[in-house]
Amino acid sequence: MTTSQDFATYVAGLPRILAGAAALFRDAAGRVLLVEPNYREGWALPGGTIESDQGETPRQGARRETVEEIGLDRELGRLLSVDWVPGTAARPPLVAYLYDGGVLAEDDFKSIRLQEEELLSWRLVPREELTDRMPGALGRRVLAALDVLADDTGTVELEDGHRVG
One-letter amino acid identity for 1?
A: M
C-alpha to C-alpha distance for 31 and 34, rounded to whole angstroms: 9
**pLDDT, position 135:** 84
Residue ranges of the alpha helices (H) in 13-136?
Answer: 58-70, 106-110, 130-133
Look up residue 49 and give its amino acid: T
State residue 147's pLDDT score: 97
Answer for the pair 144, 81: CB distance below 8 angstroms, yes or no: yes
pLDDT tens per residue across all 165 residues of the chain: 567 778 888 878 877 899 999 999 999 999 999 999 999 889 999 999 999 889 999 999 999 999 999 999 999 999 999 999 999 988 899 999 999 999 999 999 999 999 999 999 999 999 999 999 998 999 999 999 999 999 988 999 999 999 997
pLDDT score at 12: 80
Tally of residues, the chain: 165
* CATH numbers and ranges of domains, the chain: 15-163 (3.90.79.10)
Dihedral of CA 118/123/127/133: which sign? negative
pLDDT of residue 44: 97
pLDDT at 2: 62
Secondary structure E strands in the chain = 18-26, 32-37, 47-49, 79-85, 94-103, 119-125, 156-159, 162-163
Query: Which residues, in sequence order, are CB contacts of 5 under 8 Å at separation 6+?
Result: none
Give the count of beta carbons closer than 10 Å to the beta carbon of residue 82. Answer: 18
